[in-house]
Amino acid sequence: MMLVINVVMLSLNVVTLSLNVVALSLKVIALSLNVVALRLNVVMLVTTRHSLITAIVDSGTILQPVPSLETFTESQPEKPKRQTKIKALQGWFEKTQPTPSDFDPDQARWKALKEKHNL
C-alpha cells in the first residue's frame, strides 16, 4: 500500500514538473514575442540640417548619438577664407563657392571637350 502511495506521489510530482516546464516554455515564447515586437518598434531619429529623418531599425543596430537640432540651427559653419598673394583676386576668391560634392572631374572634362570641338 505504501509503495502505491509513493508511486502516485511520484507521478503527481512528475505531472507538476511537466506543468512547470510547460509554463516556463510559454513564458519563454511570450518573452520572444516581446523581443520581436521591440525590434519592430525601435525608431531611430536622425537630425540633419534641413529635416528630421525617422527610420525603423533593428534593435541589434548600434545607435550612435547624434547632435541635437539646436546645434545645427545655432551655429552655422563659417566659410574659410582662401588666401592668395594676388590682391586683385582676393575678392573673387571670397565670392566663389566651393565645388559641390557631386562634381565629377571626368564629366567636366568631357563637357569641356564637347564645347571646344563642337561635338
Q: Within this chain, do residues 52 and 80 fall inside the same structural domain, yes or no?
A: yes
Q: Average per-residue pLDDT in the chain? A: 70
Q: Within this chain, do residues 2 and 36 fall inside the same structural domain, yes or no?
A: yes
Write out pLDDT tens, residues 88-113.
777 777 777 666 667 777 888 888 88
- pLDDT, residue 99, reads 62
Question: What does the block give as the cell for 115?
Answer: 564645347
pLDDT value at 50 more than 70:
no
Q: Confidence class of residue 29 from pLDDT cuts 50, 70 and 90? A: confident
Q: Within this chain, do residues 22 and 59 fall inside the same structural domain, yes or no?
A: no
- 48 lies in a domain? yes
Considering only CA atoms, which of 54, 32, 51 is closest in space to residue 42?
54
Q: Within this chain, do residues 47 and 32 fall inside the same structural domain, yes or no?
A: no
Considering only CA atoms, which of 56, 29, 55 is closest in space to residue 40?
56
Q: Within this chain, do residues 85 and 51 fall inside the same structural domain, yes or no?
A: yes
Q: Confidence class of residue 53 from pLDDT cuts 50, 70 and 90? A: low
pLDDT value at 63 more than 70:
no
CA atoms within 13 A on the CB side of 33: 6
Domain that holds residue 20: 1-40
**What one-letter code names the amino acid at 63?**
L
Total residues found in the chain within this entry: 119
Q: Within this chain, do residues 4 and 22 fall inside the same structural domain, yes or no?
A: yes
Q: Within this chain, do residues 34 and 77 fall inside the same structural domain, yes or no?
A: no
The single-letter DSSP state of residue 61 is S
